[in-house]
């Protein structure tokens, strides 16, 4: 990536760490997670190799779905429309936990020189998803895949209690 810094009227200096936005020179920082690209919101949350691994893990190993990551809004397309509301709550929470955790990790690395591992990050997201599933007021339909997902998180399915069994 090459950026240009305008100095005076005629002199143009090439600078790798500056960019002009709205006539302001903005300093670009390398990504705190991978150090391979400049940090932008898109890179930090969606396209950093660290994040791509986490998004693939969440989609393939946890939610068993596909999560599109071209934009922040496209990640929400994996929210199931016809499934248990308790599962839907967990999927929504998992996406928000992903963004939240990535932001926290970035700040930890950038400002506190924290050492972060993928394993610890996955554990954190997994724990927060379990808490979200437990706190969900949604209901679980008696579908094998839904109950299996809740079992993986040791979350009790929220079945509807019929009025006859009271
Ligand atoms: Zn990165």
- For the stretch 83-140, pLDDT in tens is 789 999 999 999 999 999 999 999 999 999 998 899 999 999 999 999 998 999 988 8
Confidence check: pLDDT of 56 > 60: yes
**Distance in Å, CA 42 to ligand 1 centroid:** 10
**Distance in Å, CA 116 to ligand 1 centroid:** 13
> Residues 132, 97: contact at Cβ < 8 Å?
yes
**Distance in Å, CA 144 to ligand 1 centroid:** 38
**Distance in Å, CA 140 to ligand 1 centroid:** 37
> Residues 78, 6: contact at Cβ < 8 Å?
no
**Distance in Å, CA 75 to ligand 1 centroid:** 18
**Distance in Å, CA 48 to ligand 1 centroid:** 4
Give 4-44 pLDDT, tens digit per residue: 333 333 333 344 455 555 666 666 788 989 988 888 889 99
SS3 118: helix
Domain definitions of the chain by residue range: 1-30, 31-159
Distance CA 166, CA 147 (A): 23
Q: What is the pTM of this model?
A: 0.76
Measured CA angle at 136 (ends 63, 89), to 5 deg:
40
Q: How deeply is 27 buried, as exposed, middle or buried, from its count of CB atoms within 10 A (0-12, 13-18, 19+)?
A: exposed
Q: Collect all residues with Cβ–Cβ distance below 8 Å to 160 and sequence separation of at least 6.
A: 139
| Phi, psi for 4 (deg, rounded to 5) | -120, 140
């Amino acid at each position: 990536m090459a950026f240009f810094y305008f100095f005076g009227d005629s002199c143009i200096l090439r600078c790798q760490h500056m960019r002009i936005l709205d006539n302001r020179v903005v300093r670009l920082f390398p990504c705190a997670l991978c150090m391979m690209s400049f940090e932008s919101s898109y890179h930090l949350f969606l396209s950093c190799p660290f994040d791509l691994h986490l998004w693939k893990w969440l989609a393939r190993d946890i939610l068993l779905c596909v999560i599109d990551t071209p934009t922040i809004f496209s990640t929400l397309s994996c929210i199931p429309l016809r499934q248990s509301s308790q599962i839907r709550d967990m999927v929504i929470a998992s996406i928000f936990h992903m963004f939240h955790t990535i932001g926290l990790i970035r700040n930890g690395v950038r400002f506190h020189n924290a050492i972060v591992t993928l394993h610890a990050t996955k554990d954190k997201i997994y724990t927060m998803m379990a808490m979200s599933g437990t706190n969900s007021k949604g209901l679980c339909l008696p579908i094998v895949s839904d109950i299996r997902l809740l079992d993986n998180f040791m979350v009790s399915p929220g079945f509807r209690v019929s009025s006859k069994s009271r």
